[in-house]
Chains A and B, each alone.
Chain A
Amino acid sequence: MTNSPRLAMLAMVATTLLSAPAFAQDAGTLKKIKETGVITLGHRESSIPFSYYDDKQQVIGYSQEFMLKAVEAIKADQKLDKLEIKLMPVTSANRITLIQNGTVDIECGSTTNNTERQKQVAFSNTIFVIGTKLMVKKDSGIKDFPDLAGKNVVTTAGTTSERLLRKMNEDKKMGMNVISAKDHGESFLTLETGRAVAFMMDDALLYGETAKAKRPADWDVVGTAQSKEAYGCMVRKDDAAFKKVVDSAIASVMASGDAVKIYNKWFMAPIPPKGLNLNMPLSDEMKALYKAPNDKAFE
């Protein structure tokens, strides 16, 4: 082959690059919803108990219920008789992009609100507050983060835990081997098969993973929380009208006391698919949140 097709190829790439920034600007999610009568909800597939599939492949979970409350509020706000709901599964790797490029209108799952992400998307009022902790085997003797020095530790790629863990390892020279697994399922499998002695993640998700285990009683969630993080629903940036409707829907769920009922349903009672009870009592942070709903990030 000669050089020329290569040049043609480079030219193609260059054209693609140049045309890429010309994305359509579409302000007003509410307007779009009103015009089309359709709203697209982004959800997770296995973030137990926030957003996941039950054994009939229906999306359920704590965050999903908040999202549906927000949808009702949107329907009422726009005085729509009918609002068609489209569900779109997202992953931690593509959720931000899908909000940005307009595929998904709102995503309530287990997405942490932080300042870095606020450069690309906006976050609603916080729906949950977690602490990042460790899941270990009960007989492992590991009680807290300092016990991890020199050990293999797993966390899920693309999460704030991954960042914290790598930074801790760097700052305190702990000599840990950090394994970044593709998703929570593979992280847990890494822990379960003995590849890692601990799995660092948001405490609520760790309780969720425990519920899936073959012998839930073998596992424990331990350690001093390394960070507090606020889960919010993601919406498009610079769309204040839409965010306001979602925010007030969440605030009113919290004010009416429905939030506590939803909490108890998912954290203090048996949940699908296996009927396990996570037994995670309402934390002080959560009580404070329900009293004073806000959209502040912790970092």
Chain B
Amino acid sequence: MYEFDWSSIPGALPFLVQGMYISLEITAIAIVVGIVWGTLLAMMRLSSVTALSWFAAGYVNLFRAVPLVMVLLWFFLMIPHMLESIFGFPRGSDMRLGSAIAGFALFEAAYYSEIIRAGIQSVSKGQMAAANALGMTYGQSMRLVVLPQAFRNMVPLLLTQGIILFQDTSLVYVSALADFFGAAYKVGDRDGRLVEMLLFAGAVYFVLCFTVSQLVRYYQKKLKTA
């Protein structure tokens, strides 16, 4: 039977809190950028301009075809240096956080755009036609009529995707960035207490994600009764 020794946790708390901050930072930025860029992609995908809809379809399918771990590796090891050589950017030194955020945001945008596309399509076509009939432009009817309704229906799905994203931030281990999981792992590795630290990390993730998913459920119920 394995002997558990939890003594590493108290001393590591400041480092773990710092790691949690990084996890939340990546999650928050990736959600915001992902939703904005995802909305644009969804609108391009649905637009009648063939080039735009092809671009959006290609983008979404490319990012959905490759494992997140590989995307993060590309963003960490290759893409910054391609950009440097093409645009002559100054050579930065610590790209870890920046590349992780960029990788996550662009990757999640592909997933968000699919949710948003479904959301836009769920608003009945008559609404668009009615808005047009009232003399609204395409942009106005999207912004004032279709998107507000679509987003209201999509909020639970978008938040659920956010929970998945938060869990996926643990994959930044590929760039040795100390997010919450990475911090717990590093402490465990240093002290020879991997099992204890990862059980602890798992418990923290569970409590946080469970709480948020219950809030989503509550919101969903309210939405249905409203």
Contact surface of A with B, Cβ cutoff 8 Å: 1, 4-6, 8-9, 12-13, 16, 19-20, 22-24, 26, 32, 38, 40, 45-46, 48, 52-53, 55, 57, 86, 88-91, 93-94, 97-98, 101-104, 183-186, 188-189, 192-193, 209, 212-214, 273-274
Q: Within 8 Å CB of A48, what residues of B?
A: 190
Are B15 and A57 in touch, CB under 8 angstroms? yes
Report Cα–Cα, A190/B132, bound state, in Å: 66
Q: A8-B57, A22-B85 are in contact. List 18 more A-B contacts (CB 8 A).
A: A5-B54, A5-B58, A8-B54, A8-B55, A8-B58, A13-B62, A20-B82, A26-B91, A32-B91, A45-B176, A46-B186, A86-B93, A88-B93, A94-B76, A184-B189, A185-B192, A189-B194, A274-B191
Are A89 and B91 in touch, CB under 8 angstroms? no
- Fill in one digit per residue for B157-180: 1 if any A CB lies within 8 Å of its CB, else 0: 000000000000000001110000
Q: Does B61 contact A (CB under 8 A)?
A: yes
Q: Within 8 Å CB of B189, what residues of A?
A: 45-46, 183-185
Q: Within 8 Å CB of B61, what residues of A?
A: 1, 5-6, 9
Report Cα–Cα, A94/B81, bound state, in Å: 14
Are A23 and B81 in touch, CB under 8 angstroms? yes
Contact partner of A20 (CB less than 8 A), chosen from B55, B78, B95, B190, is B78
Report Cα–Cα, A5/B56, bound state, in Å: 9
Report Cα–Cα, A70/B1, bound state, in Å: 47
Report Cα–Cα, A184/B91, bound state, in Å: 32
Cβ distance A288 to chain B, nearest Cβ, rounded Å: 32
Contact partner of A185 (CB less than 8 A), chosen from B11, B58, B62, B194, is B194
Q: Does B138 contact A (CB under 8 A)?
A: no
19 A-B residue contacts at CB 8 Å?
A: A5-B57, A5-B61, A8-B54, A8-B58, A9-B61, A24-B85, A40-B93, A45-B189, A45-B190, A46-B189, A48-B190, A53-B186, A55-B11, A86-B94, A101-B81, A102-B91, A103-B95, A185-B189, A185-B190
Given contacts A5-B54, A185-B189, contact A89 B15 (CB under 8 A): no
Q: Within 8 Å CB of A90, what residues of B?
A: 176
Report Cα–Cα, A6/B54, bound state, in Å: 9
Interface residues on B, range: 35 or more
Report Cα–Cα, A20/B194, bound state, in Å: 38
Are B195 and A94 in touch, CB under 8 angstroms? no
Q: Does B86 contact A (CB under 8 A)?
A: yes
Cβ distance A104 to chain B, nearest Cβ, rounded Å: 8
Cβ-closest chain B residue relative to A185: B189
Q: Within 8 Å CB of B78, what residues of A?
A: 20, 101
Are B191 and A212 in touch, CB under 8 angstroms? yes
Cβ-closest chain A residue relative to B188: A185
Of residues 45 through 61 on chain B, the ones whose CB sits less than 8 Å from some CB of chain A are 54-55, 57-58, 61
Cβ distance B47 to chain A, nearest Cβ, rounded Å: 14
Q: Within 8 Å CB of A97, what residues of B?
A: 77
Report Cα–Cα, A34/B93, bound state, in Å: 15
Q: Within 8 Å CB of A20, what residues of B?
A: 78, 82
Cβ-closest chain B residue relative to A183: B189
Are A213 and B192 in touch, CB under 8 angstroms? yes
Cβ distance A146 to chain B, nearest Cβ, rounded Å: 29
Q: Within 8 Å CB of A6, what residues of B?
A: 61
Are B190 and A52 in touch, CB under 8 angstroms? yes
Are B186 and A45 in touch, CB under 8 angstroms? yes
Are B86 and A19 in touch, CB under 8 angstroms? yes
Cβ distance A179 to chain B, nearest Cβ, rounded Å: 15
Of residues 2 through 25 on chain B, the ones whose CB sits less than 8 Å from some CB of chain A are 2-3, 5, 11-12, 15
Cβ distance A157 to chain B, nearest Cβ, rounded Å: 14
Report Cα–Cα, A89/B93, bound state, in Å: 12
Cβ-closest chain A residue relative to B65: A9
Q: Within 8 Å CB of B3, what residues of A?
A: 214
Are A212 and B186 in touch, CB under 8 angstroms? no
Are A188 and B190 in touch, CB under 8 angstroms? no
Are A24 and B84 in touch, CB under 8 angstroms? yes
The interface centre, meaning the residue of A20, A57, A88 with most chain B CB atoms within 10 A of its CB, is A57
Cβ distance A91 to chain B, nearest Cβ, rounded Å: 5
The 10 closest A-B pairs by CB, nearest first: A212-B192, A185-B189, A5-B57, A8-B58, A24-B85, A89-B176, A40-B93, A9-B58, A46-B189, A101-B81
Q: Within 8 Å CB of A26, what residues of B?
A: 91
Report Cα–Cα, A242/B92, bound state, in Å: 20
Cβ distance A88 to chain B, nearest Cβ, rounded Å: 6
